[in-house]
Structure 1
Amino acid sequence: MSLTEILLITLAGVAAGCINTIVGSGTLVTFPTLLAFGYPAVPANISNSVGLVAGGISGSWGYRAEVSEARARLKQFMPMSLLGGITGALLLIWLPPSAFKAIVPTLIIIGIVLVVIGPWLQKRAAAKHLDASQEMSRPRRIALRAGIFAAGVYGGYFGAAQGVLLMGLMSAMLSDPLQRLNGIKNILSLIVNAVAAVTFIIVSFDNVRWTVALLIAIGAFIGGVIGAKVGRRLPPWLLRTVIVIVGVVALTQMF
């Protein structure tokens, strides 16, 4: 591995860790970088997932104040992300790469639309007095948990724009402040990445490129720290704008 390769993969990890903490979709930086250096798609995806866990840890720690205000929400959502992440990781190992090609762009579009109309939906929720201290209706609760599970499956399978999907879903169905939702998103994404990484290591150990994973981990950890400092200072309208831009870029790359 050349010095240039080491440097570029590490820098890609920094960018991915920062983007994941603020929005999500950091995989759209690291994954193409690994492909450009000649790594096969499945080992690149698996090594990337293992490495990005470090960025999820530092980014989630940076949002610890917002997360502490959302413990009730997290108790409801974490099991769904856990199950979704395991399911998605197993699908990556068992299914052909073309399996999700049709649905992935559609999911990202839905996430972007939900982020855009989130303020209007939040106003409707507030008008009905649906806040963090109140129970959602059973159908709404089931729908939200199912959506988080689906995002976890997608995140365990590939991961790009998982944050966009989660933010779109939660901002549409919850009236919590956007920064608190971003903190929840970071925890849920970390759970998905972590359980997917563990699943990959157990089931597909030979596909992990450990040097690559280590370089991405170092970069992503630094990026997570930077992302938390930047993301927590963004006003809601700007955070929404960033989410939408990243989502559109994700769509452009996937098409």
Structure 2
Amino acid sequence: MTGGEQLAVLAAGLGSGVLTSTVGVASLLSFPVLVALGIPPVVANASNTVGLIPAGLSGSFGYRSELREHPLVTRAVLACCAVGAVLGAVLLLALPASAFEAVVPWLILFACLLVGAQPWISRWLRRHHDESNPVSPRLSMSPATTGFAALTGVYGGYFGAGSGVMMVAVLGLGTDLELRVVNALKTLAVLAGNLVAGAIFLVAADLHWEAILLLATGSVVGGYAGARMGRLLPPAFFRLAVVTAGIVAAALML
């Protein structure tokens, strides 16, 4: 790579790190940059996944106070996504990519719809709840929410793009946690998926190590900076940003 190309990849890593800890669609920025520089798409995809692992680590560290607020939920999300990502990685090796590619954009668009409509859905559910049995805040994951979180982990290990948006939808509808906590849990979920997929790519895929090192350098800074910004985002703005980013990602895939 030339000096200018190295700078472009470094900047892409920085921006993707911020996106990892905020709206959760980091590959929307970094993957196209790698392909534009002439790296083959399969190599770029694997290198991008490995190079963005530091973003998830630094982002989760930046959100450490939020992750400590509900330790049981944090452990449940980490376990669900790690185990689910293992299954997703197995499917990645066993199934052709075309088996999932056609439905992925629609899954992301559906998740965007749920994220955007979550306040209205929650109010509707409370209105129709039995008034003799007052609703208490849902600060833990129900079996259904746990199951959907595990499915999101499977998706993260198999494909990954937009998995952060899906996790925001799952936790936003399945719990009453504050959005800043949901954002922290989403960042941890993305990290779990990237770690599993990255471990497989280290063994079984061709990698562009110069790109990985540049992405990792930028993303570790961006991930932590994104966590600092993410906890300050007003809920309405955060929801709008997630929906917008998800729609853009789905449109590019279509």
CA–CA separation in structure 2 for the residues paired with 1:44 and 1:146: 31
With over 3 angstroms needed to count, the CA separation of the structure-2 counterparts of 1:3 and 1:89, relative to structure 1, is: farther
Structure 1 residue 105: deviation in Å?
0.9
Find the counterpart in structure 2 of residue 246 from structure 1. 245
Find the counterpart in structure 2 of residue 131 from structure 1. 138
Cα contact 1:147–1:169 (8 A) shared by 2: yes
Cα contact 1:54–1:221 (8 A) shared by 2: yes
Structure 1 residue 101: deviation in Å?
1.4
CA–CA separation in structure 1 for the residues paired with 2:109 and 2:149: 16
Cα contact 1:59–1:224 (8 A) shared by 2: yes
Q: Which runs of 4+ in 1 moved over 3 A?
A: 90-95, 121-127
Please list, as runs of the form range in 1=range in 2, the aligned pairs for 1:108-123 lying within 5 A after superposition: 108-123=108-123
Structure 1 residue 166: deviation in Å?
0.4
Find the counterpart in structure 1 of residue 36 from structure 2. 36
Structure 1 residue 250: deviation in Å?
0.6
Deviations 1:49-74 (A, max 9, x none): 11111001111111111111021112
Find the counterpart in structure 2 of residue 230 from structure 1. 229
CA–CA separation in structure 2 for the residues paired with 1:200 and 1:94: 15
Cα contact 1:45–1:158 (8 A) shared by 2: no
| One-letter identity of the residue aligned with 2:243 | V
With over 3 angstroms needed to count, the CA separation of the structure-2 counterparts of 1:70 and 1:60, relative to structure 1, is: same
Bigger drift between 112-121 and 90-99 goes to 90-99
Q: Which runs of no fewer than 5 residues in structure 1 stay unpaired?
A: none
CA–CA separation in structure 2 for the residues paired with 1:4 and 1:95: 38
Find the counterpart in structure 1 of residue 210 from structure 2. 211
The alignment yields a C-alpha RMSD, in angstroms, of 1.8
CA–CA separation in structure 2 for the residues paired with 1:30 and 1:95: 25
Deviations 1:86-136 (A, max 9, x none): 22233334433322112201210121011112113344369621421xx66
% identity of equivalent residues: 37
TM-score by structure 2 length?
A: 0.91
Structure 1 residue 151: deviation in Å?
1.6
2:196 matches 1:189: no
Find the counterpart in structure 2 of residue 179 from structure 1. 180
What secondary structure sits across from 1:184 in the alignment?
A: helix
Between the two proteins, the alignment pairs up a number of residues equal to: 247
Please list, as runs of the form range in 1=range in 2, the aligned pairs for 1:29-68 lying within 5 A after superposition: 29-68=29-68
Find the counterpart in structure 1 of residue 158 from structure 2. 157
With over 3 angstroms needed to count, the CA separation of the structure-2 counterparts of 1:182 and 1:194, relative to structure 1, is: same
TM-score by structure 1 length?
A: 0.90
Cα contact 2:77–2:185 (8 A) shared by 1: no
Deviations 1:176-230 (A, max 9, x none): 111111111111111111122112213x1x5122211111111111111221121
| One-letter identity of the residue aligned with 2:81 | S
CA–CA separation in structure 2 for the residues paired with 1:242 and 1:112: 10
Structure 1 residue 79: deviation in Å?
1.8
CA–CA separation in structure 1 for the residues paired with 2:138 and 2:173: 13
Structure 1 residue 174: deviation in Å?
0.7
